[in-house]
Chains A and B, each alone.
Chain A
């Protein structure tokens, strides 16, 4: 509060706070990308944030509660960053849906418009559009310090006079000015007094018809209805037809008029800034950023550094994350063991093996998500992410991907779940969708145990040239096959997917900045919460279903199997661990999962699999590495932790004619199956959450399973 207060706010008509005394006022934050909007949101709301959905689209709706005064609360909603009120992307569309629908439940009482003072001209374009809508507004002028360094001097009193709204200088980095902003917001905020664009006379007849028909409060809003009626989801079909007919009747040329409006607004802005802004230095100092860019976007060093960063990220989610993950794993296991010491019974089993194990399966992803998003937030905050896109755009575009797709794709080698969440940084919906779709084809760490067991079974431990391990080469080939499949699928999708949305690369190239650690921390919390509460539900539900399927069988088949197996033990003379495994194996065979395995056997026989593999295919849907555990149970391996024991047991398996079951043909068929198949409910759940629907996860499941099936079939035929 030592900060200089802004010139007196616009006239305060009464002591009444925003909105009526009863309901909580709604404040919407809006501004250009990189104008400090999100930082301001974080300052206002802290940890009181909630992530929901805008109806019908895949844009996160961040809302939070702020205390304007100790006794006055207000709801703050963070709108997507945009350069104008004419949306160019689906994300930006939610803004007009919200601001053009006065009866909408999220319609704001006040707008806080953020603007970057060091780039005022462009930032004011959006401001002038919003001001002409006549919604009560405050301008939060951010980055005055940067502007000053650039030799830009802003006369706040003059600016406030010209703009007709309270202008509050804030520093979203350190939070200064926020207190002043809150004081202004706690009082009555008036609609903007100035207008910045005059609607051409020849349009007024049509504009007024729309205005009166929809009972709109001003002409500019009516003009927007004429421009974007087809995009406004709250209008009924009849309403759209009404406007559509008018637009046709008056020969309304939307594109030309929009262009003319933008040019006219820039003219007004230039005029008003003549008085309110003085530039003392001719060259601004983007020199620092330019110097850094000479290294970071250099032909050689640029890529080297980028791959270094990727490697570090990969290390983090692959290696560093494993420590907290082991802790969670161990924690859930000991919690379960502890509960078992207290009580036993089917309900206790449901709680431990079903619910708690499923919960553990959700929590286990948090370390990877947190670490990956720590990196991504830092890359975004510093401005390096824009350089990544800059470096990679030309290559990735050939495959229908985006420069930013590199980060999710590489992260996918560790785990597809955080990787798919990382696609949020891709603005173009089509590029984002393609990246989401192909990322699970990258071989993730959960496939490694299966690769290791199967390769160990059938690939001899030979070396070429003394050091090139044959097993290692096969492993590498599997990773490469996955990568090639991802790239090729992306290229195919690029042609298949048709979108009305035109994708642009045109974007601000931000200067380098120090990351704001508060934003980094809040991003981590937000992403983890979103995963746990949105994808977590699905994962928990599926894991309980899978547990029930592998624990219960029709009628008393399980009890019978247990009795039979126990009886057999007396003649088998097994060691204790193997004896337990024998009983478990027999019980699994008798369960619904066992029935399922037998049921799908005809379908998987062409791939070389029997019903036992069928069970493992079902249970490993929970997570691919479960395959090894199930195979161990079904083949009665006592010590499933020991890879050598599992291998030995599997090698000893005979098929109907007495030959070894795991031939190279079968093993390679399984390997290829797991390279391609979408055997991961968590990935499906996170795709569901990121695309806000079941359409894409189901398509992905069908596509990947189909690809896996056909490829495994071909491989089995080739090798047998």
Chain B
């Protein structure tokens, strides 16, 4: 099941992972444009005080996104 695969949502602060795939085809277009390409490393940088949204570091810049958006970025096990 895809739902069990680890996503950016599950990262801990400071933890990194390698992007495996993007699960939402439409949102994928936006994420790809922002440089979230399969094979690229992402690091969870910070969480908003209420836990959502989060910021990640990808391609050497900081990107902010919501948790449900982060959940569509699946990581390699």
* Contact A506/B29 with A122-B35, A303-B49, A394-B52 known, Cβ cut-off 8 Å: no
Question: For chain A, what secondary structure do more than half of its interface residues adopt (helix, strand, loop), or is it mixed?
Answer: helix
- C-alpha spacing A122/B63, complex, angstroms: 12
- C-alpha spacing A255/B22, complex, angstroms: 13
CB of B31 closer than 8 Å to a CB of A: yes
* Contact in complex: B59, A122 (CB < 8 Å): yes
* Contact in complex: A302, B49 (CB < 8 Å): yes
Closest beta carbon of chain A to B15's beta carbon, Å: 15
* Contact in complex: A395, B32 (CB < 8 Å): no
Which chain B residues border A121 with CB–CB below 8 Å?
A: 35, 59-60
- C-alpha spacing A394/B67, complex, angstroms: 10
User: Can you list, as one digit per residue, whether each of A30-43 has a CB less than 8 Å from chain B (1) or not (0)?
Assistant: 00000000000000
Closest beta carbon of chain A to B10's beta carbon, Å: 18
CB of B48 closer than 8 Å to a CB of A: yes
Of the listed stretches A259-267, A574-582, A683-691, name the one at the interface; the rest are far from the partner chain.
Answer: A259-267
- C-alpha spacing A395/B51, complex, angstroms: 11
CB of B5 closer than 8 Å to a CB of A: no
CB of B45 closer than 8 Å to a CB of A: yes
* Contact in complex: B53, A390 (CB < 8 Å): yes
* Contact in complex: B30, A255 (CB < 8 Å): no
Instruction: For chain A, residues 291 to 305, give those with C-beta under 8 angstroms from any C-beta of chain B.
Output: 293, 297-299, 302-303
* Contact in complex: B29, A509 (CB < 8 Å): no
- Closest B residue, CB atoms, query A294: B46
* Contact in complex: B31, A390 (CB < 8 Å): no
- Closest B residue, CB atoms, query A510: B62
Which chain A residues border B60 with CB–CB below 8 Å?
A: 119, 121, 150, 284
Which chain B residues border A88 with CB–CB below 8 Å?
A: 29-30
* Contact in complex: A259, B57 (CB < 8 Å): no
- C-alpha spacing A505/B66, complex, angstroms: 6
Contact-residue size bin, chain B (C-beta under 8 Å from the other chain): 20 to 34
- C-alpha spacing A389/B35, complex, angstroms: 22
Which chain A residues border B64 with CB–CB below 8 Å?
A: 386, 389-390, 505-509
* Contact in complex: A395, B50 (CB < 8 Å): yes
* Contact in complex: B59, A297 (CB < 8 Å): no
* Contact in complex: A506, B61 (CB < 8 Å): no
CB of A83 closer than 8 Å to a CB of B: yes
Of the residues B27, B33, B46, B66, contact of A393 by C-beta under 8 Å = B66
* Contact in complex: A298, B46 (CB < 8 Å): no
CB of B11 closer than 8 Å to a CB of A: no
* Contact in complex: B57, A286 (CB < 8 Å): yes
Instruction: For chain A, residues 375 to 409, give those with C-beta under 8 angstroms from any C-beta of chain B.
Output: 386, 389-391, 393-395
Question: For chain B, what secondary structure do more than half of its interface residues adopt (helix, strand, loop), or is it mixed?
Answer: mixed
CB of A511 closer than 8 Å to a CB of B: yes
* Contact in complex: B48, A509 (CB < 8 Å): no
* Contact A255/B49 with A390-B55, A506-B63, A508-B62 known, Cβ cut-off 8 Å: no
User: Can you list, as one digit per residue, whether each of B14-50 has a CB less than 8 Å from chain A (1) or not (0)?
Assistant: 0000000000011111111111011000000110111
* Contact A394/B51 with A504-B27, A509-B64, A511-B62 known, Cβ cut-off 8 Å: yes
* Contact in complex: B65, A255 (CB < 8 Å): no
* Contact in complex: A125, B62 (CB < 8 Å): no
* Contact in complex: A263, B32 (CB < 8 Å): yes
- C-alpha spacing A123/B62, complex, angstroms: 14
* Contact in complex: B32, A299 (CB < 8 Å): no
Instruction: For chain A, residues 341 to 391, give those with C-beta under 8 angstroms from any C-beta of chain B.
Output: 386, 389-391
- C-alpha spacing A94/B63, complex, angstroms: 25
* Contact in complex: A505, B29 (CB < 8 Å): no
Closest beta carbon of chain B to A82's beta carbon, Å: 9
* Contact in complex: A506, B49 (CB < 8 Å): no
User: Can you list, as one digit per residue, whether each of A259-286 has a CB less than 8 Å from chain B (1) or not (0)?
Assistant: 1001100100000000000000000101
* Contact A393/B35 with A259-B29, A506-B63, A508-B61 known, Cβ cut-off 8 Å: no
Which chain A residues border B61 with CB–CB below 8 Å?
A: 118-119, 122, 286, 508
* Contact in complex: A506, B34 (CB < 8 Å): yes
Which chain B residues border A391 with CB–CB below 8 Å?
A: 48-49
Which chain B residues border A394 with CB–CB below 8 Å?
A: 48, 50-53
- Closest A residue, CB atoms, query B25: A255
Which chain A residues border B53 with CB–CB below 8 Å?
A: 390, 393-394, 505
Which chain A residues border B57 with CB–CB below 8 Å?
A: 286
Which chain B residues border A303 with CB–CB below 8 Å?
A: 49
* Contact in complex: B59, A506 (CB < 8 Å): no
Instruction: For chain A, residues 143 to 173, give those with C-beta under 8 angstroms from any C-beta of chain B.
Output: 150
- C-alpha spacing A122/B27, complex, angstroms: 17
Closest beta carbon of chain B to A383's beta carbon, Å: 10
* Contact in complex: A390, B69 (CB < 8 Å): no
* Contact in complex: B35, A506 (CB < 8 Å): no
* Contact A393/B52 with A122-B61, A290-B45, A506-B65 known, Cβ cut-off 8 Å: yes
- Closest A residue, CB atoms, query B22: A259
Which chain B residues border A298 with CB–CB below 8 Å?
A: 49
- C-alpha spacing A199/B57, complex, angstroms: 31
* Contact in complex: A509, B62 (CB < 8 Å): yes
Closest beta carbon of chain B to A521's beta carbon, Å: 28
* Contact in complex: B26, A502 (CB < 8 Å): yes
CB of A653 closer than 8 Å to a CB of B: no
Which chain A residues border B55 with CB–CB below 8 Å?
A: 390, 509
- C-alpha spacing A290/B37, complex, angstroms: 24
Which chain A residues border B59 with CB–CB below 8 Å?
A: 119, 121-122
CB of A322 closer than 8 Å to a CB of B: no
Which chain A residues border B51 with CB–CB below 8 Å?
A: 394
Of the residues B26, B27, B46, contact of A297 by C-beta under 8 Å = B46
Which chain B residues border A505 with CB–CB below 8 Å?
A: 53, 64-66, 69
- Closest B residue, CB atoms, query A303: B49
* Contact in complex: A286, B62 (CB < 8 Å): yes
Instruction: For chain A, residues 72 to 115, give those with C-beta under 8 angstroms from any C-beta of chain B.
Output: 83-84, 86, 88
- C-alpha spacing A119/B29, complex, angstroms: 19
Closest beta carbon of chain A to B37's beta carbon, Å: 5
- C-alpha spacing A273/B4, complex, angstroms: 36
CB of A258 closer than 8 Å to a CB of B: yes
B contacts, CB < 8 Å to A: 25-35, 37-38, 45-46, 48-53, 55, 57, 59-66, 69
- 4 shortest interchain CB distances as A-B pairs: A509-B62, A509-B64, A262-B32, A299-B49
19 residue pairs of the A-B complex, CB under 8 angstroms, read A86-B29, A122-B59, A150-B60, A258-B29, A262-B29, A263-B32, A263-B38, A293-B46, A297-B48, A390-B64, A391-B49, A394-B48, A502-B26, A504-B65, A505-B53, A506-B27, A507-B63, A507-B65, A509-B62
Further contacts, 10 of them, CB under 8 A, given A88-B30, A121-B60, A506-B64: A258-B29, A259-B25, A299-B49, A394-B53, A505-B64, A505-B66, A506-B30, A506-B63, A506-B65, A510-B62
